[in-house]
Amino acid sequence: MKPIFYFIVKHIIRYFNWIYFRSIYVYGEENLPKDGGVLFSPNHQGAFLDPLLIGSMTPNRMTSLTRSDVFGGPLQWFLDAFQMLPVYRIRNGYSNLKKNDLTFAKCYKILGEGKFLLMFSEGGHHNEYYLQNLSKGSSRLAYQAFKENPNKKIYLQPMGINYGHHQQPRCTLHLVYGKPIEVNTFVSSQLTEAENINKLKEELQIRMKDCLWLAEKTEDYPERKKRINRLSTQMGFHELKTALKNSYQILPVAKAPSKQMRFLAFLLSLPNIIPLMISRKIIAQFKDIVFVSSMKFALGVFFFPIWWLVSSIPIAYSFGNQAMVVYLQVCILSIFLRQRILLL
């Protein structure tokens, strides 16, 4: 039952990706290894939206490592179905850290069987385009998986998630698979375990930076960041990355919509004013701004379609099916046009 549930939800999310984002560009799929276990290491700018994207867009089933405090209770069945494993941190209590041994043993087995595993190397999510300093977590996990499976190929796969906007739907998304590190041939028997792990981490950081539009926080980073917008993100990944590095001044600057356009966006909000107001209240409960895009994605997948369906029933009952179809068309078209204006 769980594999069927995973398959269905993966394809629902994959379909909705193309609705939530205006365009999706994927680069470097030819880099994905086909002959060993793969530990994916992406940047982490979008809370739980990031693992949903990667899990739905990659060809194989993906096991993900996630914070332990979401496990247990009524959600446990769904977490198991989505192949999520708990990671315990110091804030979860020193006594719980020992439980990581069981989680990591499962990870070594997964990679040894040639399957996909996801771990965010930055150690936490954030709301910036540049890469944060990496923890040793993924490098240590890849190295230990190699030690546990010396006759199996283990790869550390750098990846970049580049959002055209961190909070607004209908932006452009660029997913980049970098050149993988084959752990078996990269590590050296002449180095200690700690030295090999540091070597892996440093190489991973270099290759992850190659997968991002803006890899580092420079003095002029705020000005470069303004050049990432609806117009510039229609360029190819490498073209935009080069322009942001060498000649960002020629790129258009992101500007807030004018008063007239904001008023038009308000008028277009009216057919969906109730679900938009409810969504705003729900999102306001999250103090961490990184959760904004994730919550908008989740509400768009579940809440808005349910609202449209429920609210269309009395219209169909009172005015007929044709009126219901017109109502649904107006609701859907207006929300798309509203987002287009907000991203001008």
pLDDT over threshold 70, residue 262: yes
Residue 235 resides in a domain: no
What local confidence, expressed as pLDDT, does residue 124 receive? Answer: 80
* Domain extent at residue 269: 259-342
CB-based contact 182:210 (threshold 8 Å): no
What local confidence, expressed as pLDDT, does residue 93 receive? Answer: 64
What local confidence, expressed as pLDDT, does residue 67 receive? Answer: 73
DSSP code at position 213: S
Say yes or no: 88 and 168 in one domain.
yes
Mean pLDDT of the chain: 90
Per-residue pLDDT averaged across 224-237, rounded?
91
pLDDT over threshold 70, residue 119: yes
Residue 221 resides in a domain: no
User: What does the pLDDT look like over 278-314, one tens digit per residue?
Assistant: 999 999 998 888 889 989 998 988 899 999 999 999 9
Per-residue pLDDT averaged across 238-243, rounded?
95
pLDDT over threshold 90, residue 76: no
Residue 217 resides in a domain: no
What local confidence, expressed as pLDDT, does residue 94 receive? Answer: 66
Residue 232 resides in a domain: no
pLDDT over threshold 90, residue 195: yes
pLDDT over threshold 70, residue 74: no
Q: How many domains does the chain have?
A: 2
d(CA 153, CA 308): 49
Characterise 114 by phi-psi region: left (phi > 0), alpha (psi -120 to 50), beta (else): left
Say yes or no: 265 and 120 in one domain.
no
User: What does the pLDDT look like over 312-330, one tens digit per residue?
Assistant: 999 999 999 999 999 999 9
pTM attached to this predicted model: 0.90
pLDDT over threshold 90, residue 36: yes
What six digits make up the tokens of 18? 């193309």
Per-residue pLDDT averaged across 224-241, rounded?
92
Residue 240: band (very low, low, confident or very high) from pLDDT cuts 50, 70, 90: very high
Angle at 225 between CA 280 and CA 23, to 5 degrees: 65
What are the Cα distances from residue 270, in Å, to 92, 171, 210, 330? 45, 22, 43, 10
Angle at 238 between CA 235 and CA 241, to 5 degrees: 85
Say yes or no: 268 and 139 in one domain.
no
Per-residue pLDDT averaged across 125-141, rounded?
91
pLDDT over threshold 80, residue 123: no
pLDDT over threshold 90, residue 80: no
pLDDT over threshold 90, residue 203: yes
Residue 220 resides in a domain: no
Characterise 93 by phi-psi region: left (phi > 0), alpha (psi -120 to 50), beta (else): left
Say yes or no: 94 and 202 in one domain.
yes
* 293-312 residues labelled b (16+ CB within 10 A) or e (exposed): bbbbbbbbbeebeebbeebb
Residue 199 resides in a domain: yes
Per-residue pLDDT averaged across 106-134, rounded?
92
What local confidence, expressed as pLDDT, does residue 92 receive? Answer: 65
Domain endpoint, select from 212, 247, 269: 212
CATH number at residue 32: 3.40.1130.10
Residue 304 resides in a domain: yes
Let me know if 241 is exposed, middle or buried by CB neighbors in 10 A (0-12, 13-18, 19+): buried
Element (H or E) spanning 177, and its range? Answer: strand 172-177
Residue 312 resides in a domain: yes
What six digits make up the tokens of 241? 């990355």
